[in-house]
A and B are shown apart, each in its own frame.
Chain A
Amino acid sequence: MASYDASHYDPPAPIAQVTLRDMKSGALLPNVLLLLDTGADVTLLPRAAVERLGVKPVSGKDYELLGFDGTRSTAQAVDVDMIFLAKAYRGRYLLIDDERGVLGRDILASVVLLLHGPLQEWSQQEVGNESGSSAR
Chain B
Amino acid sequence: MLVTAIEGVVENGKIRLREEISLAENTRVYVIVADQHMPAPLPAQVRTPRLANPLDGGDFRKQVVEVPADGKL
Contacts and interface: CB of A to CB of B under 8 A. Distances in A.
Contacts of A73: 42-43, 46, 49
Interface in A23-70: 26, 37, 39-44, 63-68
B62 A90 contact: yes
B61 to A, nearest CB: 6
Contact of B66 (A86, A97, A110): A86
Nearest to A88: B65
A68 B47 contact: yes
A65 B61 contact: no
Interface stretch (B10-18, B20-28, B52-60): B52-60
Contact of B48 (A26, A68, A89, A98): A68
Contact of B60 (A91, A97, A110): A91
B64 interface: yes
A59 B5 CA distance: 49
Contacts of A91: 60-63
Contact of A110 (B48, B57, B64): B64
* In the complex, the 7 A-B pairs of residues with the closest C-beta atoms, listed nearest first: A64-B52, A91-B62, A39-B48, A97-B44, A65-B49, A89-B62, A90-B63
